[in-house]
Amino acid sequence: MPERKPPAGEVDPEFAFDPLDTSRTKDSEWLAHVRRGRAVCRPSPGVVYTSRYAETQETFRDPRRFSSLGDMRAPGVVVPEHERFLGEVDAPLHPRIRRILQPHFTRRGADAAEPWTRASVLRRLQALASRGSGDLIQSLAIPLPGSVSAHVLGIPESAHDQVMAWCDELLHSSWPTTGRTERGDGIAECFPELAAALDALIAEREAAGPEAPDDLLRAMVQTRTEDGWRIDPRHVRTLCVNILSGSLSASYMLGNLLYRYLDDAEFAASIRRDPSLIPAAVEESLRFESPVTFLLRTVRQDTQLGGCPVRHGEHVMMGIASANRDESVFEHAGEFRLDRELPFEHLAFGSGPHLCVGNHLTRMVGKVVLEETLEEFEPGELRLVEGYRWECVAHVHEYGPETLDVQVRR
C-alpha cells in the first residue's frame, strides 16, 4: 500500500513536534522513527524537517534555494546584517568574509596551533590532577576550544577564560534565537563587557596598522578588497563572538569524547592500545553524537525537497543528528564504531559553501585532548564520581553533557 502523506502544506500528525522541543530534537529513537517514515516531514506550520542524509546535504549545498539568513534564529527573527554569524550570511557577503578568514583555518593553520593547544591541555589536566577532582566540562571542555580560537584571533591569553565565560553566558541566553535578552537588543546591549573587550582589541588593530600582530583579528580589521570594501567593525565584533562561541560546539564534542572514554571501558582500552585510532574516534563522535543537532534555512522559492512541497518563506530544519545516523549511508549507523574507513563524510560540519570554517581546528583539539588524557592518566586513575548522572546541555542546538564530574585516584 503506498505511503499516505498529508495534503501539501499541512502538518504531518504522526511526525509533529515543536522545533524548539529538545525532548524530540535530541531523542535518537524519535529521530529514527521520523527517519524511517519520512525523508522530509512537516512537524509544525511553516517548517519542514530533513531526517535523512541526502536531503540534509542537498539543503546545505543549495544556497540559491535555501538561504542561511536566520540560520540559528527562531522562525521569523531577523537581526541586522552586522549582528549575523557567518553561517547566517548569504552571498555575496558570505564568500567575501570567508576568503578573509580561510587562510587562518587551514589544516596547516591547525597544525601550527597544535603545540600551543597541547601545552594548554596538559596544564589544565595537571591542574585537575592536583585538585583531585573537578568538572571536566567547566575546567577543560568549555574553555579550551574557545581559548584555541582566541589564540588564533590574537586575544591575549590572560583574557581567554573570561571571554569564554561571557560567550558561554551568551549561548545560554535568549540571544542566539531572538537576537535580544532582557537587557536589550544586540551584542553591545545584551553583553556589554564582552562587546567592550572585543571593541578595544579591534581598535588596537586598527590603530597599529602594519605594526599589528599577524593574527586573524588583524586580517579582519585591516583587509581591504580591490574595490575598497572592508568588514564593518561591528561585524568584526560579531564574527569574533561567532568564532569564539562557535567553538562551544567543539566543547560538547570534547564532552562527548571524554564521557565515552570514562564510561566505556572497551573504547578506552581500544584507543590506549592503539592511539592511531584517535582520529577515527573524533570523527565517529562527530557523526554518532553530533554536537549540533540541527540548523535552519529559509526557503527562497517554491520548490520540492524529498518529495515534500516547500514554499517561499518557510523554514527547513536540517536534521544533522538524524542524517548522521542514516542507515542507507552509514553501515551499522546506530553503533559507535572505530573501524570506519577514513575519511567518511558526516554532516557535523555541514557541507558545501557553508562547511564550518573551523573544522580542522576542531579535529585537532579533539585529537590532542584524547592523546594528552591518555598520557597524563593511567587506566582507572581518572573516573566519573560515584552517582554521576548524564544530563544534556540546556541549549536548543547543542548536544553533549552539561557536567562531567570526575575524581583522580592515584
CA diameter of the chain: 72
The predicted pLDDT at position 70 comes to 66
147: in domain: yes
46: in domain: yes
219: in domain: yes
The predicted pLDDT at position 1 comes to 40
Q: Mean pLDDT of successive 10-residue segments in the chain (410 residues)? A: 58 92 95 96 95 98 89 80 91 94 92 96 97 96 92 94 87 90 96 97 96 95 95 97 88 97 97 97 98 94 94 95 97 96 91 93 97 97 97 92 95
* CATH classification at residue 38: 1.10.630.10
Residue reference for cell 588564533: 152
The bridge status of strand 382-384 relative to strand 405-408 is antiparallel
User: How many structural domains compose the chain?
Assistant: 1
Which domain does 159 fall in, by range?
Answer: 13-408
* Dist CA 342 CA 354 (whole Å): 22
- Residue 135's DSSP bridge partners are 405
8: in domain: no
377: in domain: yes
73: in domain: yes
The predicted pLDDT at position 6 comes to 58
7: in domain: no
The predicted pLDDT at position 74 comes to 77
288: in domain: yes
